[in-house]
Amino acid sequence: MKILQAGNLVNLGYVVARELRNAGIESDLLMEENPQKTSDPKVFDLNLDGKYPNWIKFYYRNRAGWKRKIIKIMRDSKYELIHSYTELVMFSYLSRRIYVANPTGSDLRELAFSKTIRGMVLRRAYNKAKVVLAASPEVLELLSKLKIRNGVFIPVLMDTSLFSSNHAEKKSDRFIIFHPSNLDWKNKGNDKIVKGFSKFIKNYPNSLLRIIDRGIDSQSFQNLCTYCCSTKSCYKYGNRFIFYHSFF
């Protein structure tokens, strides 16, 4: 069996393809050229030595015909199954091949609920998928609202070669909360974690909240952290927020 991983948001497609190959199952990855750092295999896998493996295929969004190229790759007879992430599931549906869908964020929360042609195609693609992989109970709830019944709860695969207890701070007795999500108050509501943490540390002062400095509300987050640490409920514990200018 040969599987095509279509999409590589936050490097998930690469990790799944790599682990399948390590298990003896052929799997290729289809991803966008010049990806963001959070979706670039070379950033995460130091064993690549700055070079992409030959089982990664690219599509070029800034070139004419890129949508047709994706469908053409998906229709290659060597692939028995397509594992599609985010909106690429629409291409899998149009390819008329066997596929599973893996929604990850605004593709399901916003686009799938929209009264647009793309929203309609995406809902149709979910319904026609062999299964829709739900990484959280929230995804199952959203699928239920769309009357999509083929959802199955399967947590996101973690790359233990990068994220594991071996990477924890040595000799640290602090309770550390790591919040790596994009800083986007409107879509993610993650300003609440800072407000909640400023109350949390009143009872657990030996705690630390780490936030990655990326997203449209980056400066607003820094201002909020400064404000929270200047209030009477928080100032005596010192600065308990740490911003990373870059995670990479």
Annotation: CATH topology of 168-244:
Rossmann fold (3.40.50)
Mean pLDDT in residue range 204-217 = 82
State the burial class of residue 210 (Cβ atoms within 10 Å of its Cβ: 0-12, 13-18, 19+).
Answer: middle
Where are the domains positioned within the chain? Answer: 2-153, 168-244
Torsion of the alpha carbons at 227, 230, 234 and 240, rounded to the nearest 10: 70
What is d(CA 41, CA 168) in angstroms, rounded to the nearest whole number?
22
Mean pLDDT in residue range 56-69 = 93
How many whole angstroms from its chain centre is CA 48? Answer: 21
Q: Indicate if the pLDDT at residue 37 is higher than 90.
A: no
Q: Indicate if the pLDDT at residue 158 is higher than 60.
A: yes
pLDDT mean across residues, the chain: 86
More confident position, 185 or 22: 22
In sequence order, the 6+-apart residues with CB closer than 8 A to the CB of 195 are: 224, 228
Q: Indicate if the pLDDT at residue 215 is higher than 70.
A: yes
Q: How confident is the model at residue 164 (pLDDT cuts 50, 70, 90)?
A: low
What number of residues does the chain have?
Answer: 248
Record the tokens describing residue 148, joined without a space: 């999509």
Q: How confident is the model at residue 166 (pLDDT cuts 50, 70, 90)?
A: low
In angstroms, the first-to-last Cα distance of the chain is 35
Residue type, 94: L
3 phi, psi to nearest 5 deg: -115, 140
The pLDDT score that the predictor gives to residue 213 is: 78
CB 119 within 8 A of CB 111: yes
Report pLDDT digits (tens) over 8-29.
Answer: 998 999 999 999 999 999 999 9
What is d(CA 247, CA 171) in angstroms, rounded to the nearest whole number?
22
Same fold, 2-153 and 168-244: yes
The pLDDT score that the predictor gives to residue 219 is: 85
Instruction: Quote the Cα angle for 181-212-20, to 5°.
Output: 55
Annotation: CATH topology of 2-153:
Rossmann fold (3.40.50)
In the block, residue with structure tokens 């790591």: 178
